[in-house]
Amino acid sequence: MAFFIDFAKILLATCRDVLPIIVLIICFQLLVLRQPIPHLRRLIVGGVYVVIGLALFLAGLEKALFPLGKIMAAQLSDPTFIYGPEAAVAQADWKAYGWIYLFAAMIGFATTIAEPALIAVAYKANEVSAGTISQWGLRITVALGVAVGISLGAYRIVSGTPLYMYILAGYLVVVAQTIFAPRNIIPLAYDSGGVTTSTVTVPLVAALGLGLSSTVPGRNPALDGFGLIAFASLFPIITVLGYAQYMHWSVNRSKKSSKEGNHAI
């Protein structure tokens, strides 16, 4: 029974998410475009699928995966797990947190693969590029970026180094890559930073950040707990641009070598 009340709440929240979009589209169709909406029946059925699907998805996550992920984040960052019982630690030793970095990377990768917004963008990119950008290729590249980002973000919280230094360095890398990357991929690469952080990734990553910053000695959750999401948005840009550069380079090289081969013949 309690589950149905929870589900109804989530369903209501999803409806509230969709409501402004519906109102906006109806207003524009009736007042500005003055046209009936084409394929209305199909749209409504699809809209109902979106709302119910998203609500089921979130209800399932909240029932099963979020509590478990949050407990695990807390357990892994617990000083007794890291330093052993009865070890009084005043200064955090960043080398002792190996499992945390691995957990951060793996959970970042796994949640990004399941992120519906990224699935949508990969679908669109595949369609628009007439199949040259593969859906799984893009999703795995983005997920690897998130994995590196979250892991580095966890290291930042443990070591207590300032956030803006990492962001500044990341931005510089992105700018340098932008100069050399194939132009077609740049907008998509920038977009993939924004889509990684929504329904699945944010709750688990926020729990990890909060868990770490409240248990690592000398960290303040108010100051150090934030910022992991910024890492998760920055690093996918770098990996997508890097992958595009690599593909570009390897295609050019094989073209070149086949040309040389032809000359030899």
What is the distance between the alpha carbons of residues 211 and 86, in angstroms, rounded to a whole number? 20
Dihedral angle over CA of 199, 202, 207, 210, nearest 10: -150
Which one of 88-96, 178-186, 246-254, 257-265 is the stretch in contact with other proteins (CB under 8 A)?
Answer: 178-186
Q: How many other C-beta atoms lie within 10 A of the C-beta of residue 181? A: 19
Task: Give the nearer residue to other proteins in terms of CB position, either 89 or 168.
Answer: 168
CB of 255 to other proteins, least distance (A): 21
Return the residue of 97, 103, 155, 235 that touches other proteins, per CB under 8 A: 103
In angstroms, the Cα distances linking 121 to 98, 115, 191, 195 are 33, 10, 9, 8
Contact between 232 and 202 under an 8 Å Cβ cutoff? The reply is no
Residues contacting residue 10 through CB under 8 Å, at least 6 positions apart = 55, 58, 59, 62
Considering only 186, 242, 247, 248, the residue that binds other proteins (CB under 8 A) is 186
**The one among 101, 214, 226, 245 contacting other proteins by CB under 8 A:** 226
Which of 261, 177, 203 minimizes the C-alpha distance to 60?
203
Q: How far is the CB of 259 from other proteins (least distance, A)?
A: 27
Q: How far is the CB of 263 from other proteins (least distance, A)?
A: 34
Interface with other proteins includes 45 (CB under 8 A)? yes
6 touches other proteins by CB under 8 A? no
121 binds other proteins (CB under 8 A): yes
Binding flag, residue 208, other proteins (CB under 8 A): no
Q: Does 96 bind other proteins (CB under 8 A)?
A: no
Q: Which is nearer to other proteins, 47 or 217 (CB)?
A: 47
Residue 211 or 227: the one with the smaller Cβ distance to other proteins is: 227
Binders in 127-156 for other proteins, by CB under 8 A: 128-129
Cα(206)–Cα(203) distance, integer angstroms: 5
Rounded CA gap, 36 and 26, in Å? Answer: 9
> For the chain, what is the radius of gyration of the CA atoms?
23
Q: Closest separation between CB of residue 162 and other proteins, Å?
A: 9
Candidate list 8, 30, 106, 251; residue touching other proteins; CB under 8 A: 106
Residue 187 in contact with other proteins, rule: CB under 8 A: yes
| 138/118 Cα distance (integer angstroms) | 9
Q: Per rule CB under 8 A, is residue 235 in the interface with other proteins?
A: no
